[in-house]
Structure 1
Amino acid sequence: MEIESVKLVYFSPTGTTKAVVQGIANGINPDITELIDITRPDARKQPLQISENELLVIGVPVYMGRVPALLNEWLNAIQAHNTPTVCVVVYGNRVYDNALLELKNTVTKCGCTPIACAAYIGEHSFSNSETPTAEGRPDKYDLNHAEAFGQKIHEKLQSVSSISRVSDVNVPGNYPYGGVTELWTVDFIAVSDECSQCGTCAEACPVGAVDAENSRMIDIEKCITCCACIKSCPQNARSMKPGLVKEASVRLHTLYSQRKEPEFFI
């Protein structure tokens, strides 16, 4: 079947999911590619409309083994019509649990037809220089894997005459999904005197939790502990306070140091 264009959709506070999705697109090598970054709040106000002549590649990070709850409203509002879709989740070297199945089921209800799914590893949000977890990932090997996956997607599309001839893709996971989708409400970010109030952290925050006028002010009710503000700070003025998040970063570093590899289902 012929695809007119590819839409790359990603929620990627620290850039790892974006890198994976773009790696997959390199393998598909479409004539026309549209990037749709739904990381910022304003970008999630407009629902996605897509046809059966386009390919949707959608990538999200895994939060506590699930699709991030703040994306549910936007994902459920997708307007598709037998649209071939690639579902991708990116996790921090722990587990992706039911997130891939959840993403697949969600977009299917919106008119998408999943033709391939994958789980990749990205540096964990809580990873830092003291307690790194999946540091530097996706790395060169991961992105080569993503490109090879994209090539397989291209071959699959070329091998069928229409979307109706594509068989269902089985992915790991259990329904009901279980787990806890509520994130911690915790004051965990320390801001040092090196902060110049440049506003980079406020711009990086995917939920508008950092005050644009005073970046020391953080709305902990909005914060999703993605640590984008910490990782994006050009002065390295932001760090984790002692407490729940820092303790979790130590556990992740200790328990999940062994490298995990990407998986795809096609």
Structure 2
Amino acid sequence: MKIQSLKLVCFSPTGTTKAIIQGIARGINHNTVELIDITKPAARKHPLQTSENELLVVAVPVYMGRVPGLLIEWLHEIKARNTPAVCIVVYGNRVYDDALLELKDILTKRGCIPMACAAYIGEHSFSSSETPIAEARPDASDLNHAELFGRKIMEKLLSVSSVDHISNLNIPGNYPYRGDSKLWSVDFIAISNECTQCGICAQGCPVGAIDSENSHLIDPEKCITCCACIKNCPQNARTMKTGPVKDAAMRLNKLYKERKEPIFFFSDIESG
């Protein structure tokens, strides 16, 4: 089965998920590639349509063991027509819980035919020099794995004549899904005098929680604790306050030091 184009969809506030999906795309190695980065609010205003002649790869980070709640509406508006699809989740070395199963279920309901799924590890949003959690991941080994996964995807596609030969893909998980897609609403960011009001944090915020005129003003009701503003600040002027988020970072640093490796799943594909 040949595909006319490759569509990559990612939500990646700190760049880890985007790095993984780009690694997979290198392995697939298709001439026609469209990257749809839905990190910024404006990008999530445009619904996605796909056909059976395209391959759709969707990658999202794991939040509280689930697909991020703010993406659910956009994902449920996808209009696909027997589109072969690949589901990717990226988690911070703890567990991915039922996020991969949830993403697969969503895409199936929208008209996709999931043929492969994978869970990768990225540096945790709460990771810092004080409390490193999966620091600097995805690393070279992860990206090599992603590229290999991409090559395997293409081999599988070329081995079938149509999506009719792609059987159901079984992903481990539970119903109802574990975890809670509802995020914390908490004031956890400290801003030092090093802040120059450059606006980079406001521009990069995936939910528009930071005032573009005064970056000291943060709406905790909108904030998704992705920590992109902390990681992207060129002056290192933003840090975590003492409180529940920092406490969580300390627990994760202590409990999840052992390196976890990526895992992938393929559907049973009949030759045809």
TM range (shorter): over 0.9
**Partner residue of 1:233?**
233
**Partner residue of 2:67?**
67
Tell me how far apart the structure 2 counterparts of residues 21 and 69 of structure 1 sit (CA, whole Å).
20
**Matched residue type, 2:67:** V
Counterparts of 1:67-146 in structure 2, within 5 Å, are 67-146=67-146
CA deviation map 1:200-231 (0-9, x unaligned): 00011000000010000000000000000000
Shift of 1:178: 3.1
**Partner residue of 2:270?**
none
Counterparts of 1:1-266 in structure 2, within 5 Å, are 1-266=1-266
Tell me how far apart the structure 2 counterparts of residues 56 and 155 of structure 1 sit (CA, whole Å).
16
SS in 1 for 2:194: coil
Tell me how far apart the structure 2 counterparts of residues 258 and 37 of structure 1 sit (CA, whole Å).
31
Q: Is the contact made by 2:97 and 2:178 (CA closer than 8 Å) also made in structure 1?
A: no
- RMSD of equivalent CA atoms: 0.5
Shift of 1:74: 0.2
Across the two proteins, how many residue pairs are aligned to each other?
266
**Matched residue type, 1:100:** L
CA deviation map 1:108-142 (0-9, x unaligned): 00000001000000000000000000000000000
Shift of 1:181: 1.6
Tell me how far apart the structure 2 counterparts of residues 168 and 26 of structure 1 sit (CA, whole Å).
26
CA deviation map 1:43-68 (0-9, x unaligned): 00110011110000000000011000
Shift of 1:167: 1.7
Tell me how far apart the structure 1 counterparts of residues 99 and 144 of structure 2 sit (CA, whole Å).
23
**Matched residue type, 2:25:** A
Give the gaps of 5 or more residues in structure 1: none
TM-score w.r.t. length of structure 2: 0.97
CA deviation map 1:156-181 (0-9, x unaligned): 00000000111222111111103222
SS in 1 for 2:24: helix
SS in 2 for 1:60: strand
Runs of 4+ in 1 over 2 A off after TM superposition: none
Tell me how far apart the structure 2 counterparts of residues 83 and 211 of structure 1 sit (CA, whole Å).
39
TM-score w.r.t. length of structure 1: 0.99
Q: Percent identity?
A: 71
Tell me how far apart the structure 2 counterparts of residues 37 and 248 of structure 1 sit (CA, whole Å).
28
Residue range with higher mean Cα deviation, 245-254 or 174-183: 174-183
Q: Is the contact made by 2:97 and 2:179 (CA closer than 8 Å) also made in structure 1?
A: no
SS in 2 for 1:229: helix
Tell me how far apart the structure 1 counterparts of residues 167 and 180 of structure 2 sit (CA, whole Å).
32
Give the gaps of 5 or more residues in structure 2: 267-272
**Matched residue type, 1:199:** G
SS in 1 for 2:43: helix
